[in-house]
Amino acid sequence: MERLQLEFPEADLVHRYPLSVRIGDMNYGRHLGHDALITLLHEARAQAFVALGFREWDVAGYPSVVADLAVQYRAEAKWPDALEVETAIPVAEERGFCVYQRLQRPEDKRTIAVARLNLVLLDLQSGKPVRVPDTLNTAVDALKQRRSD
């Protein structure tokens, strides 16, 4: 079986967000379920957008939409594990941009999962993707600079 290999781009880290596995996040295998993982990543991504000065539904005037999502699971998380989601955003190109997220358990430094999302910004009138505004790259660069200082 061929497995997806995702590498988290450390140099593009813009945000860290702490959270915990909730009892409702558990599946029948008694670990963090895939649906709950996506929800936790979504929460962290929304918080990263806030740190950039945007909302997911208003990135420089346009709503962001997930075009695709890839997740590589590396370890189990269980209730009530304390976790942290790191979000990295490389330079946006043309009509879309990538968001990488890494879910870790700080206690033992285990990576639980790495995800890569491709997002597009949509013109609400036409429903078509628009060119990524320079203001997004500017905000990402500013946050990266603050993190490295």
* Inter-residue contact 57 to 68 (CB < 8 Å): no
Tell me the pTM: 0.94
* Inter-residue contact 132 to 121 (CB < 8 Å): yes
Peptide bond into 133 cis (omega under 30): no
Q: What does the alpha-carbon distance between residue 71 and residue 29 come to, in Å, rounded to a whole number?
A: 19
List, in sequence order, every residue forming a beta bridge with 30; answer none if it has no partner.
none
- Each residue of 68-114: pLDDT tens digit? 999 999 999 999 999 999 999 999 988 899 999 999 999 999 999 99
Peptide bond into 90 cis (omega under 30): no
